[in-house]
A and B are shown apart, each in its own frame.
Chain A
Amino acid sequence: MTDEEVQAKLLKTPSGKFEFRSGQMEENADWIAGMTGRDKAKLMFPIWEDPIQKGGGDLHLVSPKVALHAEGRGSNIPMVIAQLQPTVGGRGEAYLEINPVTARERGIDDGDRVRITSDVGEIEATCRHYEGIRPDTVVLPMEYGHWRAGRWSESVPTGHSGECTVNQSDRVTGQCNYYTSKVSVTKA
C-alpha cells in the first residue's frame, strides 16, 4: 500500500489510532478525584497504575485452578483429589511448585515440607522443584486442604492457599483480587 492508501484507511481520530476517552468518567471526574485522590486531568483516559502487592514476603504466591477444577466442591471429591496436579505428580496431595534455583537459595530440597508465610497467615505444604515456574513465583493450587470442606478435603496434607492470600478487592473495579499475595517460603 502507498502512504496515501494507508492514510485513507486510518481511523477517523486525530491521531489515526484508537483513542479512548470516557465521557462518564469525565462527567464525574470531580467526585472520583475527591474520593480516590487521583489526577483529575487523566481520569478519563486509560491509565497505568502500579499494582499493590500485599502480603509482605519476597515471592509471589499464585493459587490457580488445575485441570480438574470445576468448582470449590471438587476439593472434597476423592476422584478429583486423586489426580489434581498431574504436572508435578500431585496425586492425593497438592504441592507447592517452586523453581529449583529459588528453592536451593533457601535450602529447600525437592519433596521437603515447607512453610509459606504472609502477613495474614501461615500454611504448610510439600514442595516440588519445577522448572516450569518463574524464580520469583510459587504456585499452590487453590482450595485443597480446606478445614471445613469435608472429610476428604481435610485429609489432603496441604494447607489451604486462602489462609495466606490477602483479602483485597481491585481498587478500580472492585473485582475479586484475592488469589495472589507476596509470601516468604522457608523449610518447615
Chain B
Amino acid sequence: MPKWGMVIDLETCTGCQACTTACAMENNRLPGENWQDVLFYSDGEYPNMNLSWLPRPCMHCENPSCVSVCPTKATYKDEGTGVVLVDWNKCIGCKYCMVACPYGVRFYMDEAPVVEPDVKDTYPGDGKRTWNPPFKMPDEYEDASKGIGIQPKGVVSKCTFCYHKISQAPEGVADLDEDNPETKEFTPACVRVCAPKARYFGDLDNPDSKVNELIAEKGGVRLKEETGNKPQVYYLSGGGSPVVPGKRSTRS
C-alpha cells in the first residue's frame, strides 16, 4: 500500500498561487477556505528587504496531532493511502483539531465569511451541502465519510491530497506525475497545475520514487520537526539559501 507524500521545491516556487486556485476549483472550496495556501513573509528594512513565501498544504502527518485529539474519531489516518481525512458524518465541529494542528491547515467555515456578500447566501445549500456553487465536482466524487466535496454545516474541512484522484491511481505506481499520461489524471490538482513544477507527488514507501530521490539528493526538510508530527510533505530549500522563512520574518 502506498504512503503518499509531497515534495515542494521552494527554490522553484514563484508564489503564483496557481496551486491555491486549482485546489479551490477542484475541491469546491469557499473563498478563503484555502486547503492549499501560499503564506508570505517579509524580513528587513527598505531597501534591504526580503520577501519569502511558503506553499502550505496539509502535511498529512505520520503522527497527526489532529487525530489524537479528536473526541469523536472523525479525523483519521486512512490506512490505504496514508492520508489524513475527516469523516463529516462524525465531526461535531468542536475545532479541537484546529487548535492541535501545528500547521494551521484546518478550516471551519460557518463563521464570518472572508468575502462579503457571503457566497453561501448567494448559492444556498440544501442541507446536505452548505452551499451550491455554479461549479461543482461530479456528485459521485463526493464522499462525506472522507471529507470530499461540499461540506454540511458545522464541520471542519481540510486538504485530502485530492483523495478522489489519488485513490484511483494504478496499483504499485511510484509517482503521480502530471507529465506522465498514465498518472496525469490521478495527480493532485495543486501538483498538476504547478507551472514551474515545484511540486512532486509520490509514494514515500517506494524506494524508487522520484519524491524519495529528491528528499535524499536535495536534502528535504519537514516543518516543525520538534512537534514529532512527522509530516509527509517535504520542502527543498537548496541547502544554501534560507528560503524557508526565518523566525525573524513577519507573516503577512
Contact = CB atoms under 8 A, between A and B. Distances in A.
Interface stretch (A50-58, A87-95, A172-180): A87-95
A87 B17 contact: no
B38 interface: yes
Contact of A81 (B24, B25, B38, B115): B115
Interface string B19-37: 0110011000001101001
Contact of A82 (B31, B40, B252): B31
User: Secondary structure at chain A's binding surface: helix, strand, loop or mixed?
Assistant: loop
B20 A88 contact: no
Interface residues of B, number: 28
B46 A132 contact: yes
A87 B252 contact: yes
Contact of B21 (A68, A78, A91): A68
A131 B38 contact: no
A83 B30 CA distance: 12
B33 to A, nearest CB: 8
Interface residues of A, number: 25
A81 B38 CA distance: 15
Contact of B42 (A82, A132, A155): A132
Contacts of A133: 46
A79 B42 contact: no
A131 B49 contact: yes
B45 interface: yes
Given A78-B115, A86-B38, A89-B252, A131 B32 contact: no
Contacts of B42: 87, 130-132
Given A83-B17, A86-B17, A135 B252 contact: no
Contacts of A86: 15, 17, 38-40, 53, 252
A133 B45 CA distance: 10
B49 A132 contact: yes
A100 B34 CA distance: 30
Interface in A150-180: 151-152, 155
A22 B20 CA distance: 49
A155 B39 CA distance: 25
Contact of A67 (B16, B37, B114, B252): B16
B116 interface: yes
Nearest to A134: B46
Interface in B113-167: 114-117, 119
B246 interface: no
Interface string B40-53: 10101110010101
A87 B40 contact: yes
A79 B45 CA distance: 32
Contact of B31 (A78, A87, A99): A78
B20 A83 contact: yes
A70 B114 CA distance: 21
Contact of B45 (A131, A134, A155): A131
Contacts of B116: 92, 152, 155
A152 B39 CA distance: 24
**A-B complex: 9 closest residue pairs judged by Cβ atoms:** A82-B31, A89-B252, A78-B31, A131-B49, A82-B32, A78-B115, A155-B116, A131-B46, A132-B49
30 contacts: A68-B17, A78-B115, A79-B24, A82-B31, A82-B34, A82-B115, A83-B17, A83-B32, A83-B34, A83-B37, A86-B38, A86-B40, A87-B42, A87-B51, A87-B252, A89-B251, A91-B32, A92-B115, A92-B116, A99-B46, A100-B46, A131-B44, A131-B45, A132-B42, A132-B46, A134-B46, A152-B115, A152-B116, A152-B117, A155-B116
